[in-house]
Structure 1
Amino acid sequence: MSNAHARHIMVATEEACIELKAKIEAGEDFAACATKHSKCPTGRRGGNLGIVKPGQLVTEVDEVVFNGELRTVHGPVKSEFGYHLIQVLSRTD
């Protein structure tokens, strides 16, 4: 069965998500941004979602985690919880 290792940052607005993505793309550390800005409890761990299997995450995030390009910062991705930046660190099939 497939699994993936990913991390994310969740914020309340699309604007905040876009601003954070620009900071990360300009060189700011993803984990540091997650710790400082994420509204998800995973922010305390640098946004680390750990190793997940398909269907464990909300649909919108799951889709990126299992289909998105590795190491790319994806987003904003809207879910019922807010707006996410997602980075897939590894994936196995």
Structure 2
Amino acid sequence: MQILIGNLPATVTLDDVNALLITQIGAPEPLEVSLNQGMGINTIALVQYAADAPKALGEALVGKLRGLNYKGHDLNATVTHNFKE
């Protein structure tokens, strides 16, 4: 399963994203996180979990992330790949 988190601050780090997921919203530790900075205004994070992660996990995490104000940025999030019902 992959989750895309958008509108993160341009200065966000991998450690910041992991802390947001694990500490702040109570998500399990992801397998991998990659960041893509967009023109210095904001950053997008691609968060990967195991392919057999349940669909309900993705929906729950997206529900917690969408609209969350993180360091002055209202986040958006979506599940981009979901492999298990």
Identify the TM-score tier after normalising by the shorter chain: 0.3 to 0.5
TM-score normalised over the length of structure 2 = 0.34
Q: Report the TM-score, using the length of structure 1 for normalisation.
A: 0.32
